[in-house]
Structure 1
């Protein structure tokens, strides 16, 4: 724990403020509950609306790695926008290679002789929730 949260303020005062904040946070059910539900839902809906505009998901999806697209998709799903999550993953998957999670190319055999089957995006999106 830092001795001083802000160098211009007495460290004793900082310690008391830190303890009060810790007590408040410990009474919360989840540390993720900092943003009220309605503003968070509205923000997620705004994100979904933006991604659904012509070419936005396509332009963004190919530049995200698999983990990044999964995290954004999960937020969209939890915010009530699974179709937009599927769209973003589908746009991302265009550039995925056989060894990547969202591969959508034809069934094939990889260099180790193992079958490579494209993932079902509908099943994948359902599993993210």
Structure 2
């Protein structure tokens, strides 16, 4: 599936390029220890500027999902799953991503998943597959 690639910034580079090392990097505050996403230079919980990327487990649970049946451009292959994944590392820490590696009709809320990176140029997109 063709993908529109994000623009890498100082704050987001670890998130988009951590997959090169197999790591899902999420910003974390060194003051209150809360993870947060999307990456930013300030903690949204406590306002600290002492933040930076930290490796997570890359594992989570599907909180909700939808199966997209519409091929919005001729290059897209439908159907595909768009899901909100809650990471195991912290309650409420969620990412919007795609679930890959199994038929869309097998995806379920509550399913355990793990990150699977897809490289495009110098970007490793964090997608999710059923946990082993």
Into which bin does the TM-score normalised by the smaller protein fall? Answer: under 0.3
Larger RCO, structure (CA 8 Å, separation 6 or more): 2
Q: Judging by fraction of residues, say which structure has more strand.
A: 2
Q: TM-score, normalised by structure 1?
A: 0.21
Q: Judging by fraction of residues, say which structure has more helix.
A: 1
Q: TM-score, normalised by structure 2?
A: 0.21
